[in-house]
Structure formats: structure tokens, C-alpha cells
Chains A and B, each alone.
Chain A
Amino acid sequence: MTDSPKILTRRGLLGFGGVAAGGMLLSGCDKLLQSDKVNGVVRSAENATYRWQRLIGRDALAREFTAADMSPVFKANGTRDPQEPEYVAHAAEKFVNWKLAIGGLVSNPMTLSLAQLRQMPARTQITRHDCVEGWSAIGQWTGPQLGLLLKAAGLKTNARYIVFHCADNYGGELSKGGAQSTSIYYESIDLVDAFHPQTILAHGMNGAPLTVAHGAPVRMRIERQIGYKQAKYVMGIEAVSSLAGFGSGKGGYWEDRGYEWYAGI
């Protein structure tokens, strides 16, 4: 009993310190976001995830489902009805004059009509789409493999990424928060995903032509990554050696707004 007053003070101090530290933690946490050093360390996790996933499953296939597993309603997200005059005109003519341009670091730049794309050997796959927000939907996609097109165009040896240029001027989404502003949607992937057998230019969905809400005439399916990589309203495909020249240089609309470029998680 003799030393209890001392213990009480120590305990009191410790308790007070604990509460104070907790309070500082809560209010001070957001301050951490202002440090470039802290952000640099935190963002290094993306590269670790990218390397790890390439190591354990570079060529692994995304799970494919059966028709019985499909979502009754496949949610359309992001841009659902582009208002850009060029796109509106194409949509009005059912995309008969629409052309997909394949260029950049390729030996045979080319343009393909929707009819030509539809004549190419197609892959049909029933896969799960995982939105970055947290919901998932299972749907069926049909279209030629990107790898086939890139082989026809002849990738140059210094090509490292494939960039997808889209038709829609997008303004973000409240649920995704953060710094959001309007700009033309674009996306990019590495060559492992570009030549992955399930990476297709989908012109068909659930057994019908792709609708405007889901990205008509053509959208990307990159099945081992999150929803924002699945660029809709694709107008052009460009092989590049660096992502620096596009948008803010992070490789995509959402990437320029803080999201991971490698979205395998």
C-alpha cells in the first residue's frame, strides 16, 4: 500500500498519455497524407503487389463461369451515355463508320471497322467483373483477343505498354471520392496482360451486341484486374514505351486521380 500513490500517478500519466496519443492519432492521421515521403512509402506497395502477382500467376487464367452463374442484371457504371458529338454521331449510325485505330510503336498501323472486328476469330468468356467500389457481377463477353490484333500490327521491340483511348469525357463519381475532374477516359496495361488469352476487345455481351451503357461498340476485358481497367468506348489502341505523355502520366483516368495503375487487387 505504501507505494500506491506513486503507482497511481504513473498510471494516471500513462492513461492521460494514452488518451492524448489516441486523440492526436485521430486528428493527426490526415496530416500524414501531406507528406510526400509517407505517400512514397505507401505507394511502393503497388509495385510489390504487381511483382508478386506476376511471380505467382503471370499466365494464370481468370476463373470462367457457366451461363447459370450469370448476374440477372449487370450493373452499368462510370459513363453510361457519352455526350461527345463524335461519339453521338457514331452511335446514331450504329457505328457503321466507326473505326478502331491501332498505332504507336507498331510496324503496320491499321484501322478496323466494327464489321471487320466482328469477322475476326472471337473468344467468348463468362467472367466476374469486380468494381473498385466493392460490388461484383458475372457476365459473358465476346470479341477478338487483343494479342491477335497486336501481332497483326507488329509490335516494335521498344513497346512496353498498350494505351486505350476512349470516346467519353468523364467527370468521376461521388462514391469514389478524392480529387476528381473531367477528362477523356483512357487506360493502359503492360504486355503480359495485353497478350493474355482472356484480354479481348468485347463487341458482344451476354449474347447480344454490346450496348451503349456497357461501352459500345467495343470495350476492353482485362479479366485479372479491377473494373476501371475495363475501358469502354475504345476508339484507339496505341503501343508506347512510356506512359508519361498521357493525362497526368499515371496511365489512366482513375490512376491520374490516385488509384493504382496495377489494379490486380
Chain B
Amino acid sequence: MATTATPATPYLFHRHALVTRITHWINALAIVFLIGTGLNIFNAHPALYWGQFGADDDDARRWLEIGSADAPDGSAYGFLRIGSLTVHTTGVLGLSKGSNGQPSAIGYPGWATFPGVRDLATARNWHFFFAWVLILNGIAYYAYGLATGHLRRDLLPRLKELRPSNIVHDIVSHARLKFPKGEESKRYHILQKLAYGATVFVAIPAMIFTGLGMSPGINAAWPWLLELFGGRSSARSIHWIAANFIMVFILVHLLMVILAGPYNEIRSMITGKFRVDPEKA
């Protein structure tokens, strides 16, 4: 019945180049540590502002805060405040169980941070080490991806892929947990391209440029960088927003790997070989 030349038996297809695989895992390691240390850094001043500056008294500039307070009955609770919206987050944000088992007033809980206790000095040492790793590894990845056309060919969405009908079709097949088989499984479909593209072309560069922009030394050398983001407190806010995007991306990415077949997917990122199954299993 098949009209395509798909072989009837599964076969291995060389999916990921060596450079892609190496930079992928270095990137994964760096980002795990950048998130853990970043959340620890955030805990030193768990509030975000818009503009050139922002500190305790700048209420009008503060748009996000994680903290703890006392309820009228005297019990402590943790909260996340965004604008005028306050959500109680006891147990996770603002107030959580500390390493001694007692409730502790801290932004992000110890299990989400690196180190697992409040330690701004170590968190900064490690954040800036892995910032270097992320940037150097990123340069290798982008240079390779541009030179070989990998970025343009495999990650950049084509105009016709962006047609609403195609996007809707992809959303529907994802919702039904139907992943492409055969030849179709060899390339990224539109939702995948949008997720990877937003991460590779927007979120990671945003992390790097807001991170560099916040450095007072870089700010002196390249003042235009911070202006691009509207000032240091804005850059810090955007750094946090992009970090959240990356955290959501990682969760969805891991979920998709598990749903699409973790053995084949993970093998393809280690050995490069991806098993292509025929259209009808």
C-alpha cells in the first residue's frame, strides 16, 4: 500500500552530528548548574524591578517578589507576588522546610538551589564558571550550526510550515500523542522547531546578553548592551523571565523524550543513531 519508499523494517539513521551531540551535553550540564546557582543568587534579593535601578524602597518599580509574612493568626506563610496579585506558596516559595527540618524563610527552597543552602558566594563562583562554559560551548555550537546550515535547515521554521493549518495539525497530533513515523520522523516538525528555535535563537542569547549586561565591568566597556534591555534592573528581570522559559522548555523537552521513546531519543543524542520505524508498526 505504501506509496513512499519507506522500507518495511526499522533501520538506523544518522541523526545528530558529533559536534551537536557534544555541545548538547555540555550545554545541558552548564544549564543545570546555571539554574541551581541562579536560584540561589535570586534568594539573596528575591524581588525584581523594571528600569535602571531597584531596591527595597522602590515599590513602584518592583513587579515581582517572593517572601514570607505573618497571617493575622500569627502563623507564617510564603507568598509570590506579581504586580497586585499575591499567591500563597507556603512549602515551596518564600517559606519551606530548611535543612534542619524547620520552616525557613527563603525564596526558592533548598532542593531547587545549588548549593542546597543559602550561599551567595559559592553560587556566584559556580554561576560565572558555567557562564563561561555556556558561552564558549555556545560559540562552538552556533559557529558549527551556521557553517553547516544545520541551524537554518533543521531549526529555522519554513514559511509554509508556519501556516495555521500546519500548526493546528501538529498540535492535534501532539495532543493525541501521535508522533511522526517513517521519513517524517527524521526531521523536526513545526512545534519542535518553534520550541527549539525559541530556545536556541532567543532564550539562550537573552540569558547570555542580559547576564553580561548586568556586569558593571561589561557595562562600562559595552554600555549599549544594558541599554538594549532598558537598564540593569530590567536586564535582571529579563534574565529571570528567560530562565523560567528555559525551565519550562526543559520540562516539556524531557516529557517529550519520554513520550517519544526515551531509548531511541537518548541514544540518538549519544551515538547519533536514530531508529526509523516504518509508517505502520
Do the two shown chains form a genuine complex with each other?
yes
A residues neighboring B (CB under 8 Å):
1, 7, 10-11, 14-15, 18, 25-26, 29-30, 33, 39, 41-46, 48-49, 53, 56-57, 60-63, 65, 69, 71-73, 75, 128, 130-138, 174-178, 223-226, 254, 257-260, 264-265
**B 117-159 contacts with A by CB, 8 A:** 117-122, 124-126, 128-129, 131-132
Quick check: A259 and B45 within 8 Å, CB to CB?
Answer: no
Q: Which of B79-87, B108-116, B190-198 contacts A (4 or more CB under 8 A)?
A: B108-116
Quick check: A128 and B125 within 8 Å, CB to CB?
Answer: no
| Cα A49 to Cα B44 with chains together (Å) | 22
Q: Mark B216-244, 1 if CB is under 8 A from A, else 0.
A: 11111111001000001100100000000
Q: Judge if B57 is at the interface, Cβ distance under 8 Å.
A: yes
Quick check: A131 and B262 within 8 Å, CB to CB?
Answer: no
Interface size on B, residues (CB 8 A): 53
Q: Judge if B245 is at the interface, Cβ distance under 8 Å.
A: no
Quick check: B121 and A176 within 8 Å, CB to CB?
Answer: yes
Q: Judge if B247 is at the interface, Cβ distance under 8 Å.
A: no
Quick check: A136 and B52 within 8 Å, CB to CB?
Answer: yes
Task: Select which of A30, A46, A57, A130 is within 8 A of B221 by beta carbon.
Answer: A57
Check A130/B116 contact, CB under 8 A, given A49-B128, A71-B53, A136-B233: no
**Which residues on B sit within 8 Å (CB–CB) of A130?**
214, 216, 232
| Cα A226 to Cα B219 with chains together (Å) | 12
Quick check: A128 and B217 within 8 Å, CB to CB?
Answer: no
Quick check: B115 and A46 within 8 Å, CB to CB?
Answer: no
**Which residues on B sit within 8 Å (CB–CB) of A176?**
44, 120-121
Please give the distance in Å from B118's CB to the nearest CB on chain A.
4
**Which residues on B sit within 8 Å (CB–CB) of A265?**
128, 214-218
**Which residues on A sit within 8 Å (CB–CB) of B57?**
71-73, 75
Known: A132-B44, A175-B45. 4 other contacts (CB 8 A): A133-B120, A135-B45, A176-B44, A225-B216
| Cα A34 to Cα B128 with chains together (Å) | 19
**Which residues on A sit within 8 Å (CB–CB) of B54?**
135-136
**Which residues on B sit within 8 Å (CB–CB) of A226?**
216
Q: Mark B40-73, 1 if CB is under 8 A from A, else 0.
A: 0111110101001111111000000000000000
| Cα A257 to Cα B223 with chains together (Å) | 31
| Cα A18 to Cα B55 with chains together (Å) | 41
Nearest 7 A-B pairs (CB), nearest first? A57-B221, A264-B217, A258-B121, A177-B118, A134-B45, A265-B215, A135-B55
Please give the distance in Å from A12's CB to the nearest CB on chain B.
10
**Which residues on B sit within 8 Å (CB–CB) of A258?**
119, 121-122, 125
| Cα A199 to Cα B44 with chains together (Å) | 27
| Cα A53 to Cα B281 with chains together (Å) | 57
Quick check: B119 and A178 within 8 Å, CB to CB?
Answer: yes
| Cα A25 to Cα B116 with chains together (Å) | 12
Q: Judge if B266 is at the interface, Cβ distance under 8 Å.
A: yes
**Which residues on A sit within 8 Å (CB–CB) of B111?**
26
Quick check: A175 and B128 within 8 Å, CB to CB?
Answer: no
Quick check: B218 and A29 within 8 Å, CB to CB?
Answer: no
Check A254/B263 contact, CB under 8 A, given A46-B128, A128-B52: no
Which residue of the partner chain A has the closest CB to B254?
A18
| Cα A133 to Cα B219 with chains together (Å) | 18
Please give the distance in Å from A128's CB to the nearest CB on chain B.
6
Quick check: A48 and B216 within 8 Å, CB to CB?
Answer: no
**Which residues on A sit within 8 Å (CB–CB) of B120?**
132-133, 175-178, 259
**Which residues on A sit within 8 Å (CB–CB) of B119?**
177-178, 258
Quick check: A134 and B236 within 8 Å, CB to CB?
Answer: yes
Quick check: B233 and A224 within 8 Å, CB to CB?
Answer: no
**B 181-219 contacts with A by CB, 8 A:** 214-219
**12 A-B Cβ contacts within 8 A?**
A18-B262, A44-B129, A45-B129, A71-B58, A75-B57, A128-B216, A130-B214, A134-B44, A135-B45, A135-B56, A136-B233, A175-B120
| Cα A257 to Cα B124 with chains together (Å) | 12
| Cα A254 to Cα B220 with chains together (Å) | 23
Quick check: B262 and A15 within 8 Å, CB to CB?
Answer: yes
Q: Judge if B164 is at the interface, Cβ distance under 8 Å.
A: no
Quick check: B223 and A63 within 8 Å, CB to CB?
Answer: yes
| Cα A134 to Cα B45 with chains together (Å) | 6
Quick check: B32 and A25 within 8 Å, CB to CB?
Answer: yes
| Cα A72 to Cα B162 with chains together (Å) | 48
| Cα A71 to Cα B111 with chains together (Å) | 36
Quick check: B126 and A42 within 8 Å, CB to CB?
Answer: yes
Which residue of the partner chain A has the closest CB to B221?
A57
Q: Judge if B101 is at the interface, Cβ distance under 8 Å.
A: no
**Which residues on B sit within 8 Å (CB–CB) of A225?**
216-217
Please give the distance in Å from B158's CB to the nearest CB on chain A.
33
Check A136/B217 contact, CB under 8 A, given A26-B111, A41-B129, A45-B128: no
| Cα A46 to Cα B216 with chains together (Å) | 14
Quick check: B124 and A137 within 8 Å, CB to CB?
Answer: no
Quick check: A53 and B53 within 8 Å, CB to CB?
Answer: no
Q: Judge if B74 is at the interface, Cβ distance under 8 Å.
A: no
Q: Judge if B36 is at the interface, Cβ distance under 8 Å.
A: yes
Which residue of the partner chain B has the closest CB to A138?
B53
